[in-house]
Amino acid sequence: MNKNLYREAGVDLDKANELVKRIKPLVRSTFTSGVITDIGGFGGLYSINCHEMNKPVLVSSTDGVGTKLKVAMWANRHNTVGIDLVAMCVNDIIVQGARPLFFLDYLALGRLDLDMVEQLISGIVAGCKEANCSLVGGETAEMPDFYGIDEYDMAGFAVGLVDNSEIIDGSTIHVGNDIVGMASSGLHSNGYSLVRKVVFEQLKLQPDSFIQECNRTAAEELLEPTRIYVEPVLKILRQFTIAGMVHITGGGFYDNIPRILPRACQALIHQGSWEVPPIFRYLQERADIPDEEMYHVFNNGIGYALVTEPKDTQEIIELLNAMGQRAYRIGEIVPKDENAPAVYIEKR
């Protein structure tokens, strides 16, 4: 009897078992005191210590990295997109004021390349450590014929905790509030279908092509990981009352900021009030992208925003800057103009 039929069909169970052995030390390095199971079980167990909360609420999020993965495959560099995966999930969780507890990942690929998958998991581990959450489980699915031999996709799932009385949902936002923007690390994980079209198709760059305006190669710039805002945001929440928060991801300013605005309010954004990373100007100039499209597709240098009381704004900015997180007063909340969009970008 041939015992290798499954392997010949494209799925290698021995490699899968070897992978678990390889990544166990990496995964264990993320464990916090709440983790009560080891890697390899059917489910990850996590003990929630919430005695200090009156009514604890779980907050969950799921996301992926999108076609930024195509760039990682193009450059054959796989150790950073795992950070993106964690960031896209945990940055959503903290918008509600929650503290991330644990994370799970799903990885599907055409062929199980142990070295490549170890790189991918190492990125997830790095992201979990930065977000102070535990990687409690995951799934690696070898799917020949569904994905190309060197192709893969990733999805992430995060769970956090917040007291019901501390949930931030934007309901207290009012006219007169300030908007504080926190700098992004670059493109993050959004708009890459357009980015790839410009960089690969129109400009015909290669991974090692040097982009003078960015002072780095195309691969280095396009694979810069998404910034994780957990630590600075949670520190701000311990010291100040924040009316609302926004993770600026797919849909940019125009789609994300309105998600927290009361109907009577409009966000007035002051263009030019923050430093825009060179990659955005580079893409806009090379592809002749209109301003409106830039703000609808990209974060343009602002990855996260806080709605603050004016009396606290400067102190919050100074505290964030002291933590190494650049921040700016980028706008304000004004009365809603029924003839204008919920987000108005004012040129200066």
| 102-139: pLDDT as tens digits | 999 999 999 999 999 999 999 999 999 999 999 999 99
The arithmetic mean of pLDDT across residues 309-316, rounded, is 98
Least confident among 25-29, 73-77, 225-229, 273-277: 25-29
Least confident among 27-31, 167-171, 220-224, 292-296: 27-31
CA 79 to chain centre: 15
**Which run of H or E residues covers position 58?**
strand 56-64
Could you tell me what percentage of the chain is helix, strand and coil, using 3-state DSSP and rounding each to the nearest 5?
35, 25, 40
| Domain boundaries defined on the chain | 5-166, 178-346
Q: Does residue 160 surpass a pLDDT of 70?
A: yes
Give the percent of the chain with pLDDT over 90: 81
Note the pLDDT of residue 2. 58
Q: Does residue 1 surpass a pLDDT of 60?
A: no
Joined together, the tokens standing for residue 72 give 């990682």
List residues bridging with 333 in a β-sheet.
267
Say if residues 329 and 321 touch (Cβ distance below 8 Å). no
**Which run of H or E residues covers position 179?**
strand 178-183
Note the pLDDT of residue 207. 93
If one counts every other C-beta atom within 10 angstroms of the C-beta of residue 26, the result is 17
**Cβ-count burial of 205 within 10 angstroms (0-12 exposed, 13-18 middle, 19+ buried)?**
middle
Joined together, the tokens standing for residue 137 give 């489980």
Least confident among 12-21, 316-325, 332-341: 12-21
The arithmetic mean of pLDDT across residues 230-244, rounded, is 98
If one counts every other C-beta atom within 10 angstroms of the C-beta of residue 262, the result is 16
Q: What is the DSSP letter of 16?
A: H
SS3 at position 243: coil
Domain 178-346 in the same topology as domain 5-166: no
Q: What is the DSSP letter of 46?
A: B
CA distance 146 to 180: 44
Task: Just give the CATH number of 5-166.
Answer: 3.30.1330.10
Q: Which CATH class is domain 178-346?
A: alpha beta
Say if residues 303 and 257 touch (Cβ distance below 8 Å). no
pLDDT band of residue 84 (cuts 50, 70, 90) is: very high
pLDDT band of residue 301 (cuts 50, 70, 90) is: very high
Q: Does residue 145 surpass a pLDDT of 60?
A: yes
Q: Is the pTM of this model over 0.85?
A: yes
In the predicted model, what is the mean pLDDT of the chain? 94
CA distance 183 to 115: 33
The residue assigned the tokens 């760059």 is 205
Amino acid sitting at position 161: L
Give the percent of the chain with pLDDT over 70: 99
Strand order in the sheet with 134-142: 56-64, 152-163, 99-109, 134-142
Q: Does residue 195 surpass a pLDDT of 90?
A: yes
Note the pLDDT of residue 3. 58
pLDDT band of residue 52 (cuts 50, 70, 90) is: confident
Say if residues 249 and 188 touch (Cβ distance below 8 Å). yes
Amino acid sitting at position 28: R
Amino acid sitting at position 345: I
List residues bridging with 245 in a β-sheet.
306
